[in-house]
Amino acid sequence: MPAPFLLTTEPWIPVWDLDAAAARDVGLTEALLRAHRLRLPADRAEGVALFRLLAAVYDAAAGPRDAAEWDAAWKAETLDAAAVTAYLDRWADHLDLFHPEHPALQCGALTEYARGPEALHPGTLGGAAAAWFSHELYQPLPPYPAARAAQLLLHLLAYDVAGIKRAAPGDPATKGGKVYGAQIGPAASATHCHLTVLGGTLKDDLLLNLPPQPRADGDAPVWERDTPPAPMRSRTPTGRLDLLTWPTRRIRLHATDDGTVDAVAHHDGDRLPDLWQHSSRLDPMTAWATSKAGTPIPLPVLDDQSWPQPWRGAVLLSSTREHSAVVQHAVAAAERGTLAPGLSLHAVLGTTLYSNQHQSAISDITVTVTPLGTTGQLADPAAREQLATMSRYADVIGSNLRQHAVKISGRPSAQVAPRMLLHDLDRDWEEAVRVHAQDPDQGRALWRDAVHAAAERCIDAFPLRPMERGKLLAQYRQDPAPQPKPRKRAPKTPPAPAAPRRAAGTGRRGPASTTYEVFDGRYTLNQLSRHPNCVVSYPTLRKRVVEDGWDITEAATTPGGRGSRRTT
């Protein structure tokens, strides 16, 4: 039997130690007790998963319950050492990676290990082509050291893909030894958003990303609960701590006598109905937009070619249809004067990209760190609105550019749009936000000029005749003029009713094809289902639009299975 590996005391969390001026690994207890002297790199997917765990542990141990407690915690030199130590001592055995009954973050009911250590490798989430990009998967992997296995366990719980899973023993949903319809977890389904202080510490980041609130009745993180049953189940979260530590999968690590992990049990876990509704309500480290129907959808921070658009995070500063609980919390703390006005805040935005509509293979997990401004800017309502307006300006110019290019060139939107996306504005946005803090007018002018320069680089690279190029340069800053609808003459006599059209390849009769204005053009649902920007099949698209009343853009761009959506 392997020796215990206590996540509280064993070194496994990679940090930068300001006192040692070196990178080192620490346990949960040291991470929280010395959070004021440590930094946690969280600009990659593994770092995001670690940060979410640390936030949940601190919230459960000593999270502030109201604004007064939060302000006191922010002003204190350290986190509450007595509360943290007492809490982690109490739950240390439930935070043992190899505990025989309730292993940390795992299912103690599992005893059959059908997969090797490759099940923990992040590359396996890429599907059948994973070995092309992770060459070590071409051969059997050696056992993982316990510390590395703990890191990879967190990553797998956060980002494991949807689809078919091996059935756990005794699962009544088993069909041929498998269960179907596994969900992705809360961390992967939404746009992750947490704030970090430029030059700050782990203490700063933890407090910034935990808006004060009392623990909800019955709420508890996974280590405070009995080990989950082996079969998959559906349930609703009891509160923030439950959601932040949601057991998306039933996993158990098999340890050798020397404490390395050589095999893994891996099955479906808890499923969460109305995923986006619960995440938007309970998970503060997410960013949301609002659909036309009034439902939350993950804030889009990538363009149509999946390139990060760093300026888009600033729309969260506005009081419109975009929101994030951690940004609202930081604004409130800045307005109270708790945050010193010179602190520079950045948003860490994460999005999971899938290579198929079933979300069963990940193509990338993008993590973008983008400046939001100083706390002085956040405390000023006018400055917040200006930064949000600057953010939207880039998207307005980009949309105008694509629409005018289609109209002037005569080429189809699907051919033009990928060539007219604004790129290479990361440093321009950072500089514009920095200058805006001292001179708002100059900051806005810098950003406007940078956006225009990016647009004109796209125009120069696009094959146009000189006259067309000149016309596009003159017009792309203007909103495209609406196309006048042709006037219809009233018929002299009522026409005979048109015969219903038959659906192609069937004997069924149905209504005439309707066209929809979307993606800079007009398409029938059949045509739209083949558009490169559409991520669902025709039957799904038709059901959403015709039967369920979805907005056409939302219906085409929301991947199947990513939460449920209620119509109003």
| 471 and 399 both lie in a single domain | yes
338 within some domain: no
Q: pLDDT digit of tens for each residue in the chain (568 aa)? A: 789 999 999 999 999 999 999 999 999 999 999 999 999 998 899 999 999 999 999 999 999 999 999 999 999 999 999 999 999 999 999 999 999 999 999 999 999 999 999 999 999 998 877 777 788 888 889 999 999 999 999 999 999 999 999 999 999 999 999 999 999 988 899 999 999 999 999 999 999 999 999 999 999 999 999 999 999 999 999 999 999 999 999 999 999 999 999 999 999 999 998 889 999 999 999 999 988 888 899 999 999 889 999 999 999 998 778 899 999 999 999 999 999 999 999 999 999 999 888 899 999 999 999 999 999 999 999 999 999 999 999 999 999 999 999 999 999 999 999 999 999 999 999 999 999 999 999 999 999 999 999 999 999 999 999 999 999 999 998 876 555 555 544 444 444 433 333 333 333 333 346 777 776 667 788 777 777 667 778 888 888 887 777 778 777 767 665 434 333 3
Q: Name which of 128, 15, 49 is nearest 363 in CA terms.
A: 128
| 89 and 233 both lie in a single domain | yes
Q: How far apart are CA 219 and CA 100, in angstroms?
A: 25
Q: Would you say 96 and 105 are in contact if contact means Cβ atoms under 8 Å apart?
A: no
Ranges of beta strands (E only) in 141-285 are 144-145, 163-166, 178-182, 191-197, 233-234, 249-255, 260-268, 270-271
Domains held by the chain: number: 3
| 126 and 47 both lie in a single domain | yes
User: What local confidence, expressed as pLDDT, does residue 490 receive?
Assistant: 47
Query: Could you tell me the end-to-end alpha-carbon distance of the chain, in angstroms, rounded to an integer?
Result: 56
| 147 and 272 both lie in a single domain | yes
62 within some domain: yes
Tokens matching residue 349: 């935005």
| 446 and 522 both lie in a single domain | no
* Structural domain ending residue among the three candidates 232, 256, 282: 282
User: What local confidence, expressed as pLDDT, does residue 144 receive?
Assistant: 97
Q: How far apart are CA 456 and CA 469, in angstroms?
A: 10
* φ/ψ (deg, to 5) at 11: -75, 120
* φ/ψ (deg, to 5) at 299: -60, 125
In sequence order, the β-bridge partners of residue 522 are 517
| 139 and 179 both lie in a single domain | yes
301 within some domain: no
329 within some domain: no
Tokens matching residue 522: 């007009």
User: What local confidence, expressed as pLDDT, does residue 109 receive?
Assistant: 95
User: What local confidence, expressed as pLDDT, does residue 291 receive?
Assistant: 86
* Structural domain ending residue among the three candidates 481, 499, 533: 481
Q: How far apart are CA 397 and CA 405, in angstroms?
A: 12
268 within some domain: yes
Q: Would you say 186 and 243 are in contact if contact means Cβ atoms under 8 Å apart?
A: yes
Identify the domain containing residue 232 by its residue range: 13-183+214-282
Q: Name which of 238, 202, 203 is nearest 221 in CA terms.
A: 238
Tokens matching residue 127: 């599907």
Between the alpha carbon of residue 439 and those of residues 98, 198, 343, 432, 433, the distances in Å are 56, 21, 17, 10, 10
Amino acid at 413: S
| 476 and 520 both lie in a single domain | no
For every residue of 360-390, DSSP letters joined together read -SEEEEEEEEEEEEEHHHHH-HHHHHHHHHH
362 within some domain: no
Q: How far apart are CA 141 and CA 139, in angstroms?
A: 6
Q: Would you say 510 and 501 are in contact if contact means Cβ atoms under 8 Å apart?
A: yes
For every residue of 345-368, DSSP letters joined together read EEEEEEEEEESSTT--SEEEEEEE
| 413 and 529 both lie in a single domain | no
151 within some domain: yes
Q: How far apart are CA 78 and CA 73, in angstroms?
A: 8
In sequence order, the β-bridge partners of residue 369 are 348
| 467 and 550 both lie in a single domain | no
| 118 and 231 both lie in a single domain | yes
| 541 and 423 both lie in a single domain | no
208 within some domain: no
User: What local confidence, expressed as pLDDT, does residue 319 receive?
Assistant: 73
Q: How far apart are CA 533 and CA 536, in angstroms?
A: 9
| 413 and 456 both lie in a single domain | yes
Tokens matching residue 434: 């920095």
* Structural domain ending residue among the three candidates 247, 282, 317: 282
User: What local confidence, expressed as pLDDT, does residue 511 receive?
Assistant: 39
